[in-house]
Amino acid sequence: MMPRVLITGGAGFIGSHLADELLALGYRVRALDSLEPQVHGDAGRRPDYLSPDVELQLGDVRDPDAVASALDGADMVVHLAARVGVGQSMYQVGEYVGANDHGTAVLMQALVEKPVQRLVVASSMSVYGEGLYVDAEGRSVEVGPRSVEQMRAGRWEHEVAGREGVRPAATREDLRPTLASVYALSKYVQERLCLMIGETYAIPTVALRFWNCYGTRQALSNPYTGVLANFAARLLNGKPPLIFEDGHQRRDFVHVDDVVQSIRLALTVDGAAGGVFNVGSGVCRTVRDAAAALATAVGREDIEPEVTGRCRVGDIRHCYPDIGRARRVLGYEPRVPLEAGLTELADWLSRQIAVDRIEEMRRELACRGLSA
């Protein structure tokens, strides 16, 4: 009989796509999900997109009884449950630390008592803070956070005294983490807790650091979700996407199908245990370019993005991954180029209604002094 996989946060964006993939391969799938209103709306009902073959258990990962029940009979665990949002984490500190870190601790405590064959935890590119930078000779350069004064002056790039030709480069997993937000800190704690308990109790554990994931089923009305979802919500309402700073920040946008591929491989590749892997598309783009590509895909090239020239506390300038380790060890290979992924996304968006809450988010951050 094929293994039963428990997916925490399994009714969400990535979790539901992963469930589809695992079911198609013959796995049995159980999802533990609280159906958080910010993501799923106030109705609290099972999402229509979630396969009927998924055994959905309603419950919070912070609840030991719910976790113990969900683990009963599970052979593998994919831990996706987390609150997501850099800006929001800076004023909902208790909620983010509670959901992400205490929730992970509850899960780890349960796994101490009932180990599984494999544990995969979703980490994040946010743990790096700024990505890797090198000088003109190709030597690594450590850059700290940009000051608010610098950003208010519109000097967006890093200024490194005494080093010429400093530029961003693809970030490797061995770059020392720089935790610039409560969200980043909480994701790093999730990652470390899982790897620590996995090593101690002989549970093969893999941490995957996801870059900017996009695709169908993303929560369009959640202003703290991925940047492409935010742009889509604006475009669907005939409004320009809002771009912070000057829009030349470099990121990697990875399709949800490729993220699912990485999780599937992490569940099965023997050599992955104990490892940390970047998961991205392997192609970096500016935020402006991504916004333009999305506008083209949805047929709204007439709506130019609004470049605000403003910044948010915890924002980083450039960060994109070196995915060489995932390629070598997992056999991971991105398959969905951005243009093809956005074409699929545009088709799905044409049937969606999105409540645009971006201005609400901007006001919330501004009134708390979290934007400049």
pTM over 0.85: yes
Active-site residue (options: 27, 96, 133, 183)? 183
Is 183 catalytic? The answer is yes
Q: Nearest-5° angle of CA 289, CA 319, CA 249?
A: 35
- State pLDDT tens for residues 201-229: 999 999 999 999 999 999 887 777 778 88
Q: What is the largest CA-CA distance in the chain?
A: 62
Would you state the structure tokens that stand for residue 138, as one six-digit string? 């190709």
Residue 32 burial (CB count, 10 A)? 30
Measured distance CA(78)–CA(18) in Å, rounded: 9
- State pLDDT tens for residues 242-283: 999 999 999 999 999 999 999 999 999 999 999 999 999 999
Domains of the chain from N-terminus onward: 4-367 (3.40.50.720)
- State pLDDT tens for residues 48-81: 999 999 999 999 999 999 999 999 999 999 999 9
Q: One-letter amino acid identity for 304? A: E
Measured distance CA(137)–CA(140) in Å, rounded: 9
Of all helices (H) and strands (E), which one includes residue 205?
A: strand 205-210
Q: Does residue 102 contact residue 142 with C-beta atoms inside 8 Å?
A: no
Q: Does residue 30 contact residue 4 with C-beta atoms inside 8 Å?
A: yes
Q: Which residue has the tokens 């870059």?
A: 211
Q: What percent of the chain has pLDDT over 90?
A: 73
